[in-house]
Amino acid sequence: MVERREPIAVGDAVQRVMEFAFQEKIEFVPLLQAHGRFLAEEVAADDDVPAFNRSPYDGYAIRAIDSQEANSEDPVTFHVVGEIGAGFLFEKEVGFRQAVRIMTGAPIPKGCDAVVMLELTNSFEENNQMYMSIKRSFQAGTNISYKGEDIQKGEILLNKGQYINPGVVALLATFGYDQVPVFRKTIVGVIATGSELLEPSESLQPGKIRNSNAYMIMAQIERAGATVKYFGKFSDNLNQCIEVVKKALQEVDILITTGGVSVGDYDYLPAIYEAIGANVLFNKVAMRPGSVTTVAQRDGQLLFGLSGNPSACYVGFELFARPIIREAQGSKQPHLRKERAVLGSDFKKANPFTRFVRGKAFYQNGQLVALPSGFDKSSAVSSLVEANALIVLPGGSRGYETGMQVDVLLLEDLQGSEWPWNNIVKSYR
Ligand SMILES: Nc1nc2c(c(=O)[nH]1)N[C@H]1C(S)=C(S)[C@@H](COP(=O)(O)OP(=O)(O)OC[C@H]3O[C@@H](n4cnc5c(N)ncnc54)[C@H](O)[C@@H]3O)O[C@H]1N2
Ligand code: MOO
Ligand SMILES: [Mg+2]
């Protein structure tokens, strides 16, 4: 008798996995390696930015009051008493009708309260002395970049879990983070199972296929922000698979296998879980593809048994493994970002299970449109190429038509969702 599996709803399955979220761990990396990581501590400003009043232009620093009588008929002349480039200080106090030639980024000299752009001045030399004249007056404060105008001391600038993009790198550098506290990357082990599998370097043989899943999953693991440990591909040999799974579990935080989770004679994952004493959280999900996705846990360690079928494997990873990886990186929105889109073509095949159609989501006249990205079978590889979204088509007895509103889960988006599984809206026009 073949075992009967009870399908559970996708949201329930995700919830069962998320109950095993593990403790975040912190490490320090050099600033140069921080891009793409997630910040493990809040960052507050320990100083003002800029830290001193400075000039935003090349020109002359003056006392605004000295310019009040200037007009086009009667220019006012200033004695140029010095010059200051960015990175230097002008030590003396500037007095009546004196000016200092100043460059962008240089600190405003004592006594000065305005900067006149070079283009508005006329400079000349007389008796070995430099002078400049202006034909209009300036208000105090003209062209001053004030201390703290960008960032004020004490401000909270970055939160824990912040993705470190180039702008964040700039801020970290600004505040002297030579070493950056980031969340340690989750280590995810990958094992491919199947006697039919060849590695990409091998020539095809009758009945065999190349192992694409392991490489696809490893790329997905990296996209999710974790580190990969590949244990290789293994034939459908129960004892050998038990051994490699046991070994792998000692070296990783999470273990992902592909293949062998269904009810075939050589689908050994259920027997492997039993042999190692892992509890199965679920082994059937009301979704397509990936209905056979199985997740088990042993001593708090999670084992994801993803389907051998490439599209099913891909979807299973994104729905169930990605969020736990993201959560370990401090994300409060670890799930795929959910948005509403207009279905760009018919999808007439009805199914009782919720479908996750690999699709392309793009903006057209300000409206997000979603189109299936190709051949839509669980076994498909080709439709994954252009997929940047999963189009969510809730199960039912009717198909879906062009123009209907659907939910989409965005695959390449960093923002994520807190919990996309409430209100999965059935489509309507
Ligand atoms: N009688 C039933 N048969 C099947 C059921 C079912 O409920 N009853 N479920 C079907 C569904 S749905 C799926 S999905 C697959 C799941 O199969 P497994 O997870 O057991 O995976 P395998 O049997 O090992 O392989 C399935 C398919 O995928 C190819 N494959 C396997 N590994 C890789 C890899 N690393 N790279 C590329 N392709 C891979 C494999 O050759 C098979 O063609 O079961 C259905 N059957
Ligand atoms: O689990 Mo299968 O991927 O539904 O086709
Ligand atoms: Mg199978």
**Token pair of 421 as six digits:** 């599984």
For ligand 1, atom 41, name the residue with the nearest CA. Answer: 196
* pLDDT for res 3: 78
Please report, for residues 13, 50, 147, 370, the alpha-carbon distance to residue 176 in angstroms, rounded to integers and kept in the order given.
44, 14, 18, 44
Q: Is the dihedral of CA 314, 294, 300, 278 positive or negative?
A: negative
Q: Burial level of 222, CB count in 10 A (0-12/13-18/19+)?
A: middle
Give, in degrees to the nearest 5, the angle at Cα 286 between 280 and 289. Answer: 95
pLDDT band at 292; cut points 50, 70, 90: very high
* pLDDT for res 134: 98
Q: What is the mean pLDDT of the chain?
A: 96
* pLDDT for res 282: 97
For ligand 1, atom 10, name the residue with the nearest CA. Answer: 262
Question: Rounded to the nearest whole angstrom, what is the distance from the C-alpha of residue 346 to the centroid of ligand 3?
Answer: 31
Residue 131 confidence (pLDDT) above 70: yes
Distance of alpha carbon 214 from the chain centroid:
22
Question: Rounded to the nearest whole angstrom, what is the distance from the C-alpha of residue 224 to the centroid of ligand 2?
Answer: 22
* Whether the CB of 267 sits within 6 Å of ligand 1: yes
Using a cut of 0.80, tell me whether the model's pTM lies above it: yes
pLDDT band at 22; cut points 50, 70, 90: confident
SS3 224: helix
* Whether the CB of 309 sits within 6 Å of ligand 2: yes
Domain annotation for the chain: domains and CATH numbers: 10-25+184-328 (3.40.980.10), 30-49+149-183 (3.90.105.10), 59-134 (2.170.190.11), 337-410 (2.40.340.10)
**ipTM of the prediction:** 0.98
Please give the share of the chain, as a percent, with pLDDT higher than 70. 99
* pLDDT for res 4: 86
* pLDDT for res 151: 98
Question: Rounded to the nearest whole angstrom, what is the distance from the C-alpha of residue 404 to the centroid of ligand 2?
Answer: 25
Amino acid, single-letter form, for residue 358: R
Q: Residues 195-215: what's their mean pLDDT?
A: 98
* Whether the CB of 316 sits within 6 Å of ligand 1: no
Buried-exposed string 50-71: b where 16+ CB fall within 10 A, e elsewhere: beebbbebbbbbbbbebbeebe
Question: Rounded to the nearest whole angstrom, what is the distance from the C-alpha of residue 280 to the centroid of ligand 3?
Answer: 17
Instruction: Pick from 267, 311, 378 the residue to mutate for probing ligand 2's pocket: most ligand atoms within 8 Å of its CB.
Output: 378
Rounded Cα–Cα distance for residues 118 and 101 (Å): 9
Question: Rounded to the nearest whole angstrom, what is the distance from the C-alpha of residue 376 to the centroid of ligand 3?
Answer: 19
Ligand showing the shortest atom-to-Cα distance for residue 289: 2
For ligand 1, atom 25, name the residue with the nearest CA. Answer: 308
> What pLDDT digit, counting tens, does each position of 385-416 carry?
999 999 999 999 899 999 999 999 999 999 99
* pLDDT for res 429: 53
Rounded Cα–Cα distance for residues 120 and 233 (Å): 73
Buried-exposed string 178-192: b where 16+ CB fall within 10 A, e elsewhere: eebbbbbbbebbbbb
* Whether the CB of 275 sits within 6 Å of ligand 1: no
* pLDDT for res 423: 80
pLDDT band at 24; cut points 50, 70, 90: confident
Please give the share of the chain, as a percent, with pLDDT higher than 90. 94
* Whether the CB of 378 sits within 6 Å of ligand 1: yes
Q: Residues 305-327: what's their mean pLDDT?
A: 98
Ligand showing the shortest atom-to-Cα distance for residue 236: 1
Residue 32 confidence (pLDDT) above 70: yes
* pLDDT for res 424: 79
SS3 32: helix
